[in-house]
């Protein structure tokens, strides 16, 4: 399967969002990191901003909710223009119900796992998921270092998905750069999130195409 790329808006220049989004129009998705200052120690943006930028791009919106009790806001983020909504397993007591809420909005549903959360927790959910987002840093900030043990976690999840023929993509998020991209794709990542490696580069479009060519060689 062709590797897809989801640049994270978190690393962009927030004073020029409209122009920043144009720089990565060759991407497959726009990754939107929503943080509430409770589930993670940082606050970013909400549905109002997502709705405002939706009109400036045709890219599908891959919204990553790092918020406590996401069930309270599924409708808001769907109506704001999210095409995929990913919630954290650790942020709700009723993850299956949240997945159903997302699907009822007619959009794709994903579950994200913090680095310390084992993939076995998703065993009974995988048949219903469009994607699993493996956090390869502790959520909350861009620009952190990739946690090396996450490569084995990706490979393990990939084996389970392939063995059962599940229609579920693996997205990996955090600390992905040109130097470690190959091992992550080899392990089974389908979608790569990259913030600082793309928006932090002098030429984001060139950084994206360099990452694409590395992934294509795997």
The catalytic residue positions are 33, 173
Instruction: Report the nearest approach of ligand DX5 to the CB of residue 165 (Å).
Output: 29
- Least distance to ligand DX5, CB of residue 193, Å: 5
**Shortest Cβ distance from residue 196 to ligand DX5 (Å)?**
3
SS3 16: helix
Task: Specify burial of residue 136 (Cβ count, 10 A radius: 0-12, 13-18, 19+).
Answer: buried
Q: Which does 100 bind (CB under 5 to 8 A by kind): Zn ion, ligand DX5, none?
A: none
Residues pairing with 66 in the sheet: 35
Q: Does 46 appear as a known binding residue?
A: no
The yes or no reply on residue 88 touching Zn ion (CB under 5 A) is no
Q: Site residues for Zn ion, window 17-56 (CB under 5 A)? A: 33
Q: Which of 12, 64, 158, 192 binds Zn ion (CB under 5 A)?
A: 64
- Rule CB under 5 A: say whether 153 interacts with Zn ion: no
Task: Report how far residue 87's alpha carbon sits from residue 213's, in angstroms, rounded to the nearest whole number.
Answer: 30
165 Ramachandran zone, left/alpha/beta (phi>0; psi -120 to 50) = left
Q: Catalogue the E-assigned strands of 114-212.
A: 131-135, 169-173, 191-194
Kindly indicate which of the ranges 34-42, 71-79, 96-104, 169-177 contains the residues binding Zn ion, using the contact rule CB under 5 A: 169-177
Using the minimum distance from each CB to ligand DX5, give the nearer residue, 70 or 175.
175
Smallest separation (angstroms) from ligand DX5 to the CB of 33: 5
Q: What are the structure tokens assigned to 127, written together?
A: 């048949």
Kindly list the residues in this chain that would bind ligand DX5 in the complex (CB under 6 A).
8, 10-11, 31, 33, 64, 137, 139-140, 142-144, 173-176, 193-197
Does the annotation place 31 within a ligand binding site?
yes
Instruction: Provide the greatest CA pair distance for the chain.
Output: 46
**Residue (100 or 144) nearer to ligand DX5, CB:** 144
Instruction: Tell me how far apart the alpha carbons of residues 67 and 119 are, in angstroms, rounded to a whole number.
Output: 20
- Do 200 and 11 touch, CB atoms closer than 8 A? yes
Helix (H) or strand (E) holding 67: none
Output the known binding site for substrate: 8, 64, 140-143, 173-175, 195-196
């Amino acid at each position: 399967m062709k590797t897809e790329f989801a640049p994270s808006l978190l690393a962009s220049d927030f004073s020029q969002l409209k122009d920043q989004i144009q720089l990565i129009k060759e991407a497959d998705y726009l990754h939107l990191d929503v943080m509430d200052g409770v589930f993670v120690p940082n606050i970013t943006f909400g549905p109002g901003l997502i709705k405002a930028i939706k009109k400036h791009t045709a890219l599908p919106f891959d919204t990553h909710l790092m918020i406590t009790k996401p069930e309270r806001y599924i409708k808001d983020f769907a109506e704001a223009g999210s095409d995929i909504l990913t919630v954290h397993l650790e942020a709700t007591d009723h993850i299956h119900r949240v997945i159903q809420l997302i699907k009822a909005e007619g959009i794709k549903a994903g579950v994200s796992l913090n680095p310390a959360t084992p993939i076995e927790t998703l065993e009974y959910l995988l048949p219903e998921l469009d994607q699993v987002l493996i956090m390869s840093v502790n959520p909350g900030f861009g620009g952190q270092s990739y946690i090396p043990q996450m490569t084995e976690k990706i490979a393990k999840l990939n084996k389970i998905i392939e063995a059962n023929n599940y229609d579920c993509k693996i997205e990996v998020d955090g600390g992905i750069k040109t130097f470690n991209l190959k091992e992550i794709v080899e392990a089974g990542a389908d979608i790569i999130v990259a913030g600082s490696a793309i928006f932090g580069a002098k030429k984001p479009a060139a950084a994206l195409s360099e990452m694409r060519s590395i992934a294509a060689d795997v």
